[in-house]
Amino acid sequence: MNLLINPFAQFEDKPDYSVPSATLQIYNFIAEYLKREPSTHINRASSATLCYKRRWYQKEGHPGEPLTPRKMVNFTLGDLTEKVVLYFIKQGCVGEGKLYSEINFGKSTGYFTIQNKPIMVYEQEGLTAQIGDIEVTAHVDGWGKRNSDGEWELIEIKSAADYGFEEFKIKGPGDYLKQAMVNLNTNKAIELKAKSVRFFYLKKNTGHLWDSLHNFDQELFNEIIEEYKIASQKEEPKRPHVPQNETFRSKPTGRKVLPWQCCYCPYTKTCWPEAELEFKNNKPTWVIKGE
């Protein structure tokens, strides 16, 4: 098979340096069709999960590593599976004796079919939240009114790989809670008097589902307000993450490496000019030389 150089590999954390010609043609189409225009708008609910210095770089218009077609495909598959789970929630969790008496997923925009069965698709409603002095835009998956107490709760759907799914079952949704806390301060949440969020997680390579309920956390919300302030300030903020001691097979190697948050950031080279990229088991490792 004749393979072609993959021009997107240089920006990848899971690179295929050579690919078949038809694959490259598809990648080229995806890169153009799904490309994201550069934006300095950082005051979104989804930004709450991100490092505030990463947000600051975006606000200031610093160039970052581009999103590759392979990653775009992965995000698209995540979006599709989450839309499917949303429909299953409506069909499986609404009615007498079930979790919800009613749900609000926004306006239906049509459907697609799986095994000759329709899957309805909904358009997320545009919302706003006041986070301290900053107005934040938000989009949520939906809202459900519980049969047990008549209270509305926020519904958030996430797809995850093996590790992320098991982590959710044991420890909860991690930084996704920050996004949910913002969403629980939107105009819609205030209207519905929603004070809790239920996360539905899909283990995308096996189809396992798991859900858990989390109440609004004022202490966490105060932290979120401060991070939005730091990301919006004029001065360049300090880095919130620090290098860690590298281990291999539970033994220290004597080297310092960046934490995972930095490994998948589009501004790693800007933030850590002294770091050098290496790949181990097809995963990026940023090594701080001389440490």
254 and 161 in a common domain: no
Mean pLDDT of 115-127: 95
Q: Within a domain: residue 43? A: no
280 and 213, same structural domain? Answer: no
pLDDT of residue 280 exceeding 80, the answer is: no
DSSP state, residue 186 = B
Tokens of 35: 């490309």
Whether residue 164 sits in one domain with residue 92: yes
More confident residue, 187 or 15: 187
Cα separation, 171 vs 59, whole angstroms: 32
If you average pLDDT over residues 218-226, what whole number do you get? Answer: 97
pLDDT above 80 (res 227): yes
217 and 259 belong to one structural domain: no
Give pLDDT tens digits for 69-90: 999 999 999 999 999 999 999 9
Do 129 and 215 fall into the same domain? yes
What pLDDT score does 291 carry?
56
- pLDDT, position 165: 95
- Residue 23: pLDDT band (50, 70, 90) is very high
What does pTM read for this prediction?
A: 0.92
Domain encompassing residue 252: 244-288
Report yes or no on 14 lying in a domain: yes
- Whether 60 maps to a domain, the answer reads no
pLDDT (mean) for 173-187: 97
* 202 and 248 both lie in a single domain: no
Q: 5 lies in a domain? A: yes
Hey, which bits of 205-282 come out as E strands? Answer: 208-215, 244-248, 251-257, 275-280
* Rounded percentage of the chain residues whose pLDDT exceeds 70: 99
Distance between CA 255 and CA 252 in Å, rounded? 8
Calpha distance 291→276 (Å, rounded): 12
Query: Which residue in the block uniquely carries the two structure tokens 């956390």?
Result: 217
Tell whether the model's pLDDT for residue 128 goes beyond 90: yes
pLDDT at 290: 62
Both 122 and 228 in one domain: the answer is yes
Rounded CA-CA distance 176/200 in Å is 12
Q: Is the pLDDT of residue 263 over 90?
A: no
Q: How far apart are the first and last CA of the chain?
A: 44
Look at residue 264 and tell me whether its pLDDT is greater than 90: no
The predicted pLDDT at position 157 comes to 97
Contacts of 51 (CB under 8 A, 6+ apart): 240, 241, 261, 265
CB 179 within 8 A of CB 48: yes
Q: How many other C-beta atoms are found inside a 10 Å radius of the C-beta of residue 66?
A: 15
Q: Do 120 and 209 have their domain in common?
A: yes
Total count of domains within the chain: 3
* Residues 248 and 211 both lie in one domain: no
- Mean pLDDT, all residues of the chain: 94
pLDDT for the residue 2: 87
Q: How far is CA 94 from the centre of its chain?
A: 27
Indicate whether 260 pLDDT > 90.
Answer: no
